[in-house]
Structure 1
Amino acid sequence: MKEIRAIIRPNKLPKLRTVLREMPGFPGMTVSKVEGFGAPSEHTPHNIKEELTDYSAKVRIEIVAPDEKVDDIVRRIISIACTGQTGDGLVWVVPIDRAVFINKTTIGSPQG
């Protein structure tokens, strides 16, 4: 099991959501609004106001998926999010040792 994390442009989210929901067995995702900046560019902020507002709005996506779905999900994210311009985003995959859905069947089950 893996966690796929991605930072993408907000305007790409609706299309990505549609493409992922069409995927058989898609496990779902969590979406958060975030701000950030990439690697330093030629432009350097010259005052405190510019330094505090030198971020661009992005969306962070988190998906916990079985190993056999990961490559397909990553491919779909990249194909939708890529515009060919700087700032398109980033996708990375993190191993997960254990994940448990929280529902009434987990109540009273042993921890471990």
Structure 2
Amino acid sequence: MKRIECVIRPVRLEAVKTALGELGVTGLTVSDVRGTGGAAGMESPMGRGYSMTLPPKIKIEIVTRDEDVEEVVQTVLAHARTGDPGDGVIWVLPAATAIRIRTGDEGEGVL
């Protein structure tokens, strides 16, 4: 299993969510976050006065089977990308296990 974390523009959430639903993704977590990438800060010529803005973003978290990762990632890319700086980032991380709290069931079956 893999955990896919996506930080995207808030205005792209509905398009991404709809596309993931059409793909068959039935479980995801959505959070309001703030953050910036590597090019957001402005430094004065003397190395002082560093300014960083933290614009609002949306974080989507999905745990999926290994064989579905590429399709999920490509779907997010296709629906989140505007081509402008600030489109966001996607991380793909290992997920050791999943446990359904209600039943105690473990593994891919709880996805």
User: Structure 2 counterpart of 1:18, which letter?
Assistant: T
TM-score (norm: length of structure 2): 0.81
Alpha-carbon offset, residue 97 of structure 1: 1.2
CA deviations 1:33-84 (Å, max 9, x no partner) are 0011111347348869xx47x1111000100111111110000001111111
Distance 1:41 1:56, change over 3 A: closer
Mapped partners of 1:42, 1:62: distance in 2 = 26
* Runs of 4+ with deviation above 4 angstroms: 45-48
Aligned-CA RMSD value: 2.4
Secondary structure of the corresponding residue to residue 62 of structure 1: strand
How many residues align structurally?
103
User: Structure 2 counterpart of 1:89, which letter?
Assistant: G
CA contact (8 A) 1:29 1:63 kept: yes
The percent identity for this pair of structures is 37
CA contact (8 A) 1:27 1:63 kept: no
Unaligned residue ranges in structure 2 (runs of 5+): 107-111
Unaligned residue ranges in structure 1 (runs of 5+): none
